Amino acid sequence: MPERPLIRICYVEDDEDIQRIVRMSLERVGKMTVAVVSDPTRAIETMAEFKPDMVMLDWMMPVLDGPALFRQMKLRPDTNALPVVFITAKASQRDLDELKTLGAAGTISKPFSAKDLPDQLRAIWAKLP
């Protein structure tokens, strides 16, 4: 378990409504600092600047989907160590297995509870080495 508390979250999501809810949930309920990225192609830039504790990726996005972005992150020294949590609406066993092989820290399935989201993230954070 990392020593410091989970504060800074970078969230990559193309749906603006969900962006807003997640931001509110994490900021209001979880008292965290959130950077939201709408355009996945510019996500790595933001991460490099924002230096988050954890990254949340939407699975299905146009142009560059979550898994593809995750693979790109793995190639960059400044992002390859960041713990990644996937948010997905398609939760078939095969998808979950695929996420595990990719080395994801955890998954949260849509629809998630806005009330419980910060606690879910902290639980994943607590399990990190």
Partner 1 sequence: MNHSTTANGNGSTLSSSTDAVEAEIRDRADPRQVLADRVAQLYRQMPIAIGATFIAGAIATFELQGRWLTQLVLIWWVIVVLFTLAASTLLVVYRRSPDKLASAPQWLRWLAIAALGNGASWGLAGGVFFRSLSDEQQVFLAFLFAGMASVGIPVYAASWPIFALYAAGILFPFFYVLLTFGNRLFVEIALLVPLFYAINVAIAYRLTQVFHSGYRLRHAYGKLTEDHRVLNQRLERQLVELEEARRQVEASGRKLALFAERAPIAVLELQPDGTVTEVNHAAEILFGYAAAELVGGSVKKLVRAEFHGEFDRTWDSLLTTRESVAGMKIRNPRRDGVDLICEWTVTPLVNFRAEVIAVIAQGRDITAQLEAERMKKEFTSTLSHELRTPLTSIIGSLQLINSGVMGEVEKDIAELSMVAERNAQRLLDLINDILDIEKIESGKLTLEPETMPVDELVREAMLLNKGFGDRFKVRFEARGGAAGRTVHADRKRLLQVMTNLLSNAAKFSPEGGVVDISTDEAGPSVRVAVHDRGSGIPEAFRARIFGRFTQADSTATRQKGGTGLGLAICKRLVELMEGRIGFDDRAGGGTTFWFELPRSSA
Which range, of 15-23, 34-42, 45-53, 74-82, touches partner 1 by CB under 8 A?
15-23
Q: How far is the CB of 113 from partner 1 (least distance, A)?
A: 6
From candidates 64, 96, 102, 114, binder to partner 1 by CB under 8 A: 114
110 is a contact residue toward partner 1 (CB under 8 A): yes
At residue 109, what are phi and psi to the nearest 5 degrees? -90, 145
Q: In the window 24-63, what residues touch partner 1 (CB under 8 A)?
A: 24-25, 28-29, 60
102 is a contact residue toward partner 1 (CB under 8 A): no
113 is a contact residue toward partner 1 (CB under 8 A): yes
Question: Which spans of this chain sit near partner 1 (rule: CB under 8 A)?
Answer: 15, 17-18, 21-22, 24-25, 28-29, 60, 89-90, 93, 110-115
